[in-house]
Amino acid sequence: MKEVTVQDLKNMMDRSEEFQLIDVREPFEYEVSNLNGLNIPLAGIVIEQDKVKKDVPVVVQCRSGKRSAQAIMLLEQQGFDNLSNLQGGILAWKEDIDPEMDVY
């Protein structure tokens, strides 16, 4: 499974690279803190796979990296090959990029 660090993701954002960010946490988690990704909870990722782009890199994130890894495994079974997991999830983002971010 491909992975990107939070610094890699920040660099992609800073360079305005074309990619899609998918947040597989629950809506209440997304409301506390998010990186402006598309919120598709893990339980619905296969049902809502049509919202996941196939023609640009896609970074999948959650709180710590575990649910996003599960989401990637499910989507890869559906034929996706453009997915990367955000190492450490939003907790790593808070630690390395934005210490002021609220997390739970």
| 58-102: pLDDT as tens digits | 999 999 999 999 999 999 999 999 999 999 999 999 999 999 999
E strand or H helix that includes residue 38: strand 38-39
Whole-prediction pTM value?
0.97
Strand partners, 60: 22, 85
**What type of residue is 52?**
V
Average pLDDT value for residue range 42-69? 98
Q: Which residues are catalytic?
A: 62
Residue 103's pLDDT band, with cuts at 50, 70 and 90, is confident
2-18 confidence digits (pLDDT tens):
999 999 999 999 999 99
Spell out the domain ranges in the chain: 3-96
- Superfamily of the domain at 3-96: Rhodanese-like domain (3.40.250.10)
The Cα 87–Cα 28 span in angstroms is: 21
